[in-house]
């Protein structure tokens, strides 16, 4: 997804309720761009849509007529939402998402627990998988395993709420998954997401996310800084805002303006 398409999608989704930030949207757009540049083809899958805020971007990522977007959410069966993450609503989701879909059969919707969905139900061949459903450890681990089982070579999984005090289950699931599956590597943590790819593909993705010029073209610049740190035995690129830049003071405001003008 190029910068213009990414910014168009952001304009379309920003009024929708949910938790998907501008920078997370650009992380998705650049991941999609890497896949387009490297010839990675396949479907897109999202677990956890809520009102469709992240889903609208995924709809816009459907680049070929043979690609489908598959969604799984409990939607109106909130009694089954045991971790109380988000609150799907099918009518709102449908209103927000389906008008942007290229055709009605390009979007497949499973209104159920993701734990009740199997690789056979999904079919193989997914290039981009967004995990943002149940946030308990066993739910998130099952979602990681399901997504890993249907991901094409060169594909990417993005999991939400990777390092948040209110969702330790997601962190536990990721650590358990990476410990058990050395063929997968965490590549980038930032904007509340973790990008996981197969070990063979890690450098191709990492080099794009280390390219500050590319990130700036998508509007990801100061106050975001990077560092490379080990996480579960892998060097992971971290996007973070230094604590001194988190409060808006006249100085940080001036720095934001200065860096905004320079890039
Ligand atoms: C945090 S919200 C998703 C937010 C959305 N991706 C966004 O960026 O705005 C989590 C969603 O997952 C759904 N959900 C929770 N547990 C689930 C499960 N076990 N299986 C399927 N969906 C689940 C909820 O209904 C809710 O809509």
Assess whether the C-beta atom of 54 lies below 6 angstroms from ligand 1: yes
CA of 199 to the centre of ligand 1 (A): 28
Q: For the chain, give the DSSP string.
A: --HHHHHHHHHHHTTSSSS--HHHHHHHHHHHHHHHHTT---EEEEE--TTTHHHHHHHHH--STT--EEEEE-TT-GGG-TT------HHHHHHHHGGGSSSGGGEEEEES-GGG--HHHH-S-EEEEEE-S--SHHHHHHHHHHHHHHEEEEEEEEEE-TT-TT-HHHHHHHHHHHHH-TTEEEEEEETTEEEEEEGGGHHHHHHHHT-HHHHHHTT--TTEEEEEEEETTEEEEEEEE-GGGTS--HHHHHHHHHHHHH-
Q: Hey, how many other C-beta atoms are within 10 angstroms of the C-beta on 166?
A: 9
Which pLDDT belongs to residue 263?
64
* Residue reference for tokens 């209110």: 166
Which CATH number belongs to the domain containing residue 118 in this structure? 3.40.50.150
Assess whether the C-beta atom of 50 lies below 6 angstroms from ligand 1: yes
Assess whether the C-beta atom of 52 lies below 6 angstroms from ligand 1: no
The total domain count for the chain is 1
Domain with 27 in it:
3-262
CA of 213 to the centre of ligand 1 (A): 33
Which pLDDT belongs to residue 80?
92
CA-55 nearest atom, ligand 1: 6
Assess whether the C-beta atom of 192 lies below 6 angstroms from ligand 1: no
CA-139 nearest atom, ligand 1: 19
CA of 1 to the centre of ligand 1 (A): 24
Residue 233 backbone phi and psi in degrees, to 5: 80, 10
Query: From the first residue on, what is the mean pLDDT of each consecutive set of 10 residues in the chain (263 residues)?
Result: 96 94 98 97 97 97 89 94 92 94 91 97 97 98 98 98 97 98 98 98 97 96 95 97 84 84 71
Nearest C-alpha neighbor of 130 from the set 4, 28, 233:
28
Assess whether the C-beta atom of 132 lies below 6 angstroms from ligand 1: yes
Which pLDDT belongs to residue 83?
93
CA of 25 to the centre of ligand 1 (A): 17
Tell me how far apart the alpha carbons of residues 132 and 160 are, in angstroms, rounded to a whole number.
5
Name the residue of 47, 56, 85 whose CB sits within 8 Å of the most ligand 1 atoms, as the mutation to test its pocket: 85
Which pLDDT belongs to residue 253?
84
> What per-residue string of b and e applies to 228-252 under the rule 16 or more CB within 10 Å gives b?
eeebeebebbebbeeeebeeeeeeb
Assess whether the C-beta atom of 53 lies below 6 angstroms from ligand 1: yes
């Amino acid at each position: 997804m190029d910068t213009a398409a990414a910014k168009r999608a952001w304009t379309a989704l920003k009024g929708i309720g949910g938790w998907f930030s501008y920078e997370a949207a650009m992380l998705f757009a650049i991941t999609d761009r890497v896949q387009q540049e490297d010839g990675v083809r396949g479907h897109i899958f999202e677990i956890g849509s809520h009102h469709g805020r992240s889903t609208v971007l995924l709809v816009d990522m459907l680049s070929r007529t043979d690609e489908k977007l598959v969604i799984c959410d409990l939607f109106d069966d909130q009694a089954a939402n045991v971790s109380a993450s988000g609150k799907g609503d099918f009518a709102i989701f449908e209103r927000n998402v389906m008008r942007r879909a290229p055709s009605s059969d390009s979007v497949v919707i499973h209104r159920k627990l993701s734990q009740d969905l199997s690789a056979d139900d999904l079919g193989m061949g997914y290039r981009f998988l967004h995990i943002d459903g149940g946030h308990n450890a066993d739910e998130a681990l099952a979602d990681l395993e399901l997504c890993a089982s249907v991901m094409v070579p060169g594909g990417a999984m993005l999991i939400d709420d990777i390092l948040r005090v209110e969702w330790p289950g997601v962190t536990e699931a990721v650590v358990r998954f990476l410990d058990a599956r050395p063929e997968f590597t965490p590549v980038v943590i930032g904007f509340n997401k973790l990008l996981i790819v197969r070990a063979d593909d890690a450098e191709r993705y990492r080099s794009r996310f280390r390219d500050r010029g590319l990130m700036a073209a998508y509007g990801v610049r100061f106050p975001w800084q990077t560092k490379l740190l080990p996480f579960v035995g892998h060097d992971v690129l971290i996007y973070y805002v230094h604590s001194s830049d988190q409060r808006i003071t006249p100085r940080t405001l001036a720095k934001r303006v200065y860096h905004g003008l320079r890039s």
